[in-house]
Structure 1
Amino acid sequence: MKAPASLISAAQTGDPFALEQLISNSYPDLRRYAQKHCHASHAEDAIQETLLIATRNIRSLRQLHSWLAWLVTILKRQCHYLFRAFNINVHLTDAEWSEFIERTPTHSLKTELIAALESLPPHYLEIILLRDFEELSIAEIAARLNENIPAIKSRLHRARTLMREYLLSSADIN
């Protein structure tokens, strides 16, 4: 979405209707970015913080044509900030991860796994299902999705990281 310079200029001078229009036009793009790049439970908070920061600082935007890039930069920082603020430790050793799995009751673990899967954006869920449930190889997944192997590996890694983040944050392990 490219915001018209006149709309941005009007918002910079304090026009609340122009600002509302900018925000509502930008929200879908921010939502898409946040769903792909933020921890699932932080996406909406990151968007709201981004819009608040942008609203407070819109007068500092000098390049009117870079409205969306400016918002995405703020959103990227907010995603990172929220991730660090919640101090989710996804770098457990294998022994620590095994201990977590062993001490979590099976029924609880199943419920948490289902919730973690449901929290994934669709493109990550698809990769997890193809690899871990259908047991397809990386090459088979790449062929099925018409993508290259490094992209599939990267998406699988990110999906598993999101799953682990969700499980660890729900269990409050740090």
Structure 2
Amino acid sequence: MNTASHTATDDILAARDGDIAALQRVLTSSRQNLRRYAEYHCVVNDAEDAVQECMMLVSRRIGDLRVAESFTSWMFRIVKRECNRLKRGMRLLTGDAITEDILPLGHFEPVELRHDVAAALESLPIHYREIILLRDLEGLTIQEIAQRLDLTPEATKSRLHRARVLAREYLES
């Protein structure tokens, strides 16, 4: 391929078809724009985490991309969804409303917080633990979770809500 005619779309198509070097070029060239977008949409300390999660998800799912031209908007949607997931996680842990300018809570030590969250998850019945992990750790959509667990989307939402309520109750006790 002539490098003069080589475009970003060519890299996206090659990455979609499994070319690892093309995927690295696409991710490298997208990183700065993703970071700026994440800084606008995330709580200040979550921007880099959102970008990293986005890049990992893109690496795993780029083969599912149907139209190369929608790649950029797809990545921005992933980053925004990840920012929202991180905000929801903070709300789940604290019970507080999340605003755009919220700063991380100073009274939780990271190790202590990890232990508390792990204990809360362990306290849940397996079907509740599984749905929280699929949604909040793996970032699956309600539809994807419903398919994986052989549930309706409505039942999936209900189970996820109940799991979060139970986890919140555990953390508040």
Instruction: Provide the TM-score with structure 2 as the length reference.
Output: 0.53
- The answer to whether structure 1 residue 49 and structure 2 residue 50 are counterparts is no
Equivalent residues in 2 for 1:2-151, closer than 5 Å: 4-87=8-91, 88-91=94-97
Counterpart in the other structure of 1:127: none
Partners of 2:16 and 2:62 within 8 A in 1: yes
Partners of 2:8 and 2:26 within 8 A in 1: no
Write out per-residue CA displacement over residues 87-146 of structure 1, whole angstroms, 9 at most, x where no aligned residue: 255549xxxxxxxxxxxxxxxxxxxxxxxxxxxxxxxxxxxxxxxxxxxxxxxxxxxxxx
Q: CA deviation at 1:36?
A: 1.0
Cα separation, 2, equivalents of 1:36 and 1:73? 13
SS in 1 for 2:18: coil
What is the root-mean-square deviation of aligned Cα atoms in Å?
2.1
Counterpart in the other structure of 2:107: 171
For the pair shown, which has the larger CA radius of gyration, 1 or 2? 1
SS in 1 for 2:66: coil
Cα separation, 1, equivalents of 2:31 and 2:17? 21
CA change 1:89–1:39 in 2 (3 A) is: farther
Cα separation, 1, equivalents of 2:60 and 2:72? 16
AA aligned to 2:103 is Y
Unaligned 5+ segments in structure 2 are 1-6, 109-171
AA aligned to 1:39 is V
User: Among the aligned pairs, what percent are the same residue?
Assistant: 33
Counterpart in the other structure of 1:154: none
Q: CA deviation at 1:66?
A: 1.3
Cα separation, 2, equivalents of 1:59 and 1:91? 37
Q: CA deviation at 1:16?
A: 1.1
SS in 2 for 1:170: coil
Counterpart in the other structure of 1:149: none
Cα separation, 1, equivalents of 2:97 and 2:69? 40
CA change 1:170–1:45 in 2 (3 A) is: same
